[in-house]
Amino acid sequence: MPCDLIVALDYPTRAAAAPLLRQLRGSLRWVKIGLQLFTAEGPDVVRAVADEGFNVFLDLKLHDIPNTVARAVESLAALPIGMLTLHAAGGREMMAAARTAQAATRPELLLLGVTVLTSLDAAALAEIGVPGTPEAQVARLAGLAAEAGLRGLVCSPLEAAALRAQVPAGMQLVTPGIRPAGEEGGDDQKRVLTPAAAARAGANYIVVGRPILQAKDPAAAARAIRAELA
């Protein structure tokens, strides 16, 4: 199945992200706006990035009581976004409420249930009272997300193949934790794969940050990853 690239705009301000966006225009379709940039700039940064021709993945990982998350989804659905995240750990009722709100306001918006963060391993899960492996917790939360009607999941690429055998065929899998071959570590992600390996495992989208943001030629780095995916 085809797999596309999403570049994470991990910048503190819109002005800081602007040079990269200029370089990437025409090299890819999707960019991710996360908590840092959104809390600094608010909804206007989403509109500005969309106006430059990019599809926006808004990664806010909503997690609250069902009614609060549903109302947040309604508010955010007014923005020009194609994907929005919420924590699957919020439970089936919360995800179902979000899905109902999304379907009523923006039917085409893809809600993504975040399973287990790529920064967490078994030891970190044990510290917060979750027994077993990350793979087991991902499978458990993915099942709840599917039952709640979500059409997409965020997981590490290491779990993508197993999820493909578990979730409905149309479920979209978005995988952070991507490190191109030859890239050094140095970040806080613990469960990682290369772009090509993630695509083979069944990812529909991969999210890449620092390997592109810190490249001497970000546009060339993005094109190289897309070529690898193809």
Per-residue b or e along 27-46, where b marks 16 or more CB atoms closer than 10 Å to that residue's CB: bbebbbbbeebbeebeeebb
CB contact at 8 A, 2 and 29: no
The full DSSP string for 110-171 is EEEEE-S-TT--HHHHHHTT--S-HHHHHHHHHHHHHHTT--EEE--HHHHHHHHTTS-TT-
Kindly name the residue from 32, 61, 190, 216 that is annotated as catalytic. 61
Separation between Cα atoms, residue 39 and residue 24, nearest integer Å = 23
Our answer to whether residue 32 is catalytic in this structure is no
Q: Looking at the chain, list the stretches that DSSP marks H as alpha helix, in order from N- to C-terminal side.
A: 14-24, 35-41, 43-51, 66-76, 92-105, 122-127, 134-147, 157-164, 195-201, 210-213, 218-229
| Terminal C-alpha separation, the chain | 10
73 CA to centre of own chain: 16
Residue whose token pair is 């570049």? 7
* Total residues belonging to the chain: 230
Active site residues: 61
